[in-house]
């Protein structure tokens, strides 16, 4: 299922994923006769592989190693899910597999295959719910919500509902970074829907939650890697959507210069966004300088976010064809466009 198929099916499929799967599925699989024995070592192996593959994808884009993650899920992890294990191990196994499935969904989305990503996010959600893990459940819902956000106004109702359910699923959590992660997504969806009150309320809740744990080292989960730098980036773009370009610029500069970003892909995306905000404020020179840094940073990254940003720059600079610096930068951006 490619992007066009996702456009037609997203509402029914994404909202259908909110139906809870069978919570007793793991219990019925316990002590299955004749199956491979699974223990804590296999669960740890899945988490380690997910971390290694996730670190690589976060640095150079999801397009580089998705096939490796898919093969590991199907060839190695698949038989373990139908193996012989105790209930505690089973819940850990399903939780770890949920994280791996979510990573493959993110990689697929970063390649531009929205339909495949959606299927993996839904699979991740079902596994997380069977494992009774509210954070993983909320994270999978967030993945589908972000898809709907990225697809624009036609899907604002789907994005908002999935974001609301994401926040609801995360209510048992105390990790400030995780809470901020989900509230920021709700703020983004509300801003897209034109609900300024809800957007600002959710954004304030996200900031409060982040400030509780801003200096804590990231944990092992997906949501706990939502650093204050990433929060500053997302908040900046939400503020830009709400029309507050001054605050948006400040937040994006904080993400780049104060809090820092530890992944090249993330830094490149922030530079692209900041350049766009500079241009909206009428500051062409700052936009050109920022976009030049983006092109330097993005070299070699395989991500639809990078190619879409390059295309955005290429189009926006067309109106400045008589400015030599703009024309030269437009030519440089061509190298990042989809082949």
Whether 146-259 shares its CATH topology with 263-339 is answered yes
**Does the structure show a pLDDT above 60 at 334?**
yes
Confidence at residue 34, expressed as pLDDT on a 0 to 100 scale: 56
Task: Give the lowest-confidence range in 5-14, 25-34, 148-157, 250-259.
Answer: 5-14
Domain 263-339 fold is: 1.25.40
Confidence at residue 246, expressed as pLDDT on a 0 to 100 scale: 96
**Given pLDDT bands bounded at 50, 70 and 90, which one contains residue 2?**
very low
**Does the structure show a pLDDT above 90 at 167?**
yes
**Does the structure show a pLDDT above 80 at 103?**
yes
pLDDT tens-place string over residues 212-264 = 876 777 666 778 788 888 999 999 999 999 999 999 999 999 999 876 566 88
Mean of pLDDT values over 169-194: 94
pLDDT tens-place string over residues 111-130 = 988 888 888 998 899 899 88
Confidence at residue 30, expressed as pLDDT on a 0 to 100 scale: 54
**Does the structure show a pLDDT above 80 at 99?**
yes
Specify whether the CB–CB gap between 291 and 261 falls below 8 A.
no
**Given pLDDT bands bounded at 50, 70 and 90, which one contains residue 206?**
very high
Write down the domain spans for the chain: 1-132, 146-259, 263-339
pLDDT tens-place string over residues 277-314 = 999 999 999 999 999 999 999 999 999 999 999 999 99
CATH second-level architecture of 146-259? Alpha Horseshoe (1.25)
Of residues 44 and 7, more confidence is placed in 44
**Given pLDDT bands bounded at 50, 70 and 90, which one contains residue 191?**
very high
Confidence at residue 219, expressed as pLDDT on a 0 to 100 scale: 67
Confidence at residue 21, expressed as pLDDT on a 0 to 100 scale: 40
Confidence at residue 6, expressed as pLDDT on a 0 to 100 scale: 41
């Amino acid at each position: 299922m490619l992007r066009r198929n996702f456009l037609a099916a997203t509402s029914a499929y994404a909202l259908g994923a909110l139906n809870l799967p069978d919570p007793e599925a793991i219990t019925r699989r316990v002590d299955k006769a004749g199956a491979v024995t699974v223990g804590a070592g296999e669960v740890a192996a899945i988490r380690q592989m997910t971390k290694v593959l996730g670190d690589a994808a976060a640095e150079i884009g999801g397009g580089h190693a998705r096939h490796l993650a898919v093969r590991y899920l199907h060839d190695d992890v698949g038989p373990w899910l139908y193996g012989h294990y105790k209930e505690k191990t089973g819940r850990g196994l399903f939780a770890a597999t949920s994280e791996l499935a979510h990573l493959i969904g993110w990689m697929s989305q970063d390649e531009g295959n929205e339909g495949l990503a959606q299927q993996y996010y839904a699979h991740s959600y079902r596994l997380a719910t069977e494992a009774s893990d509210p954070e993983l459940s909320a994270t999978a819902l967030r993945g589908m919500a972000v898809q709907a956000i990225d697809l624009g106004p036609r899907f604002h109702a789907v994005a908002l509902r999935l974001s609301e359910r994401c926040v609801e699923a995360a209510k048992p959590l105390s990790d400030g970074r995780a809470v901020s992660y989900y509230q920021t997504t709700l703020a983004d969806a509300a801003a897209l829907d034109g609900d300024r009150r809800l957007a600002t309320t959710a954004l304030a809740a996200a900031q409060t939650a982040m400030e509780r744990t801003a200096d804590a080292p990231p944990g092992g989960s997906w949501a706990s890697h939502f650093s204050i730098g990433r929060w500053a980036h997302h908040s900046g773009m939400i503020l830009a959507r709400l029309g507050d370009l001054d605050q948006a610029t400040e937040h994006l500069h904080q993400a780049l210069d104060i809090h820092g970003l530890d992944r090249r892909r993330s830094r490149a995306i922030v530079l692209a966004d900041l350049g766009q905000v500079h241009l909206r404020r009428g500051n062409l020179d700052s936009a050109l300088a920022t976009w030049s840094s983006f092109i330097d940073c993005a070299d070699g990254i395989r991500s639809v976010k990078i190619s879409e940003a390059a295309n955005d720059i290429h189009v926006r600079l067309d109106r400045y064809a008589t400015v030599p610096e703009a024309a030269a930068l437009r030519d440089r951006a061509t190298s990042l466009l989809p082949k």
